[in-house]
Amino acid sequence: MYIGRIMHTDLITISPDASLVEARKLIERKNIDHLLVVNDKGKLVGILSDRDLKQYWASPATTLSTHELTYLLEKILVKMIMVKAVTTITPETTIERAAHIMQTRNINSLPVMDQDELVGIVTSTDVMGILLEAIGMNEDSVRLCVLVNDRIGAIAEVSALLRDLGVNIQSLFTWPVRKYPGTHQLVLRLAGDDGPKAVAALNRNNFKVLTRYVKDLAPYLPDSV
């Protein structure tokens, strides 16, 4: 899936010349975590997070009265504290690429640009929700993990067994087991009622199925090919 399918397009923006007090009121009123900072030409010039605001809100001396603190913060403008080097993506960016960017750069939101035009924003919450949906995460599903050798046909064999059993695979993804090179985890989500018969069928066909955390994976490793 692409970011253009999930991005928020009802953008809430603020001027770089607005005060921190204005920014805080806007964030609280709209119940959001990030403000896009745009100039009078509608161009993205920065981003301001609720976390940034809270840091500056707590920075003045605690001996100041509420009135004095508000007066002081009225003098601090958004452009003084906003992040100017903004990481952006395009609508064509994939969900997984956006997640990778957020994780490696330790950021929680990405403005979306179509050439020079600001067209949306996506947050880590949005991306996480889609990824959980993609792997079939719901209360009625069951998760099975099968360790297989990294070879052509491994996924086909597992899926064929479940197909012949009349079991529908709601989602399937795979990644390597770091400790055991050449071994991959197949993680399947099935309807909850299908779990027991799927495990039994896979076990009968020499696939060792994990349905819970185990400290030692060695007993579940596939036979060498």
- Domain-wise residue ranges, the chain: 3-131, 139-220
Total-model pTM? 0.75
Burial string for 173-182 (b: 16+ CB within 10 Å, else e) reads eeeebeeeee
Tell me: the pLDDT tens digits for 111-128? Answer: 999 999 999 999 999 998
Tell me: pLDDT of 56 over 80: no
CATH code, residues 139-220: 3.30.70.260
pLDDT score of 54 more than 90: no
Q: Which residues contact 195 (CB under 8 A, 6 or more apart)?
A: 142, 144, 211
Measured in degrees and rounded to the nearest 5, phi and psi for residue 96 equal -70, -35
The predicted-structure confidence for 94-110, as pLDDT tens digits, reads as follows 999 999 999 999 999 99
Distances from the Cα of 133 to the Cα of 130, 136, 137, angstroms? 5, 5, 6
User: What is the rounded distance in angstroms from the CA atom of residue 154 to the CA atom of residue 140?
Assistant: 26
CATH of domain 3-131: 3.10.580.10
Q: Judge whether 73 and 22 are in contact, CB under 8 Å.
A: no
Instruction: Give backbone dihedrals phi and psi of 223, rounded to 5 degrees, phi first.
Output: -65, 150
The confidence score (pLDDT) of residue 131 equals 79
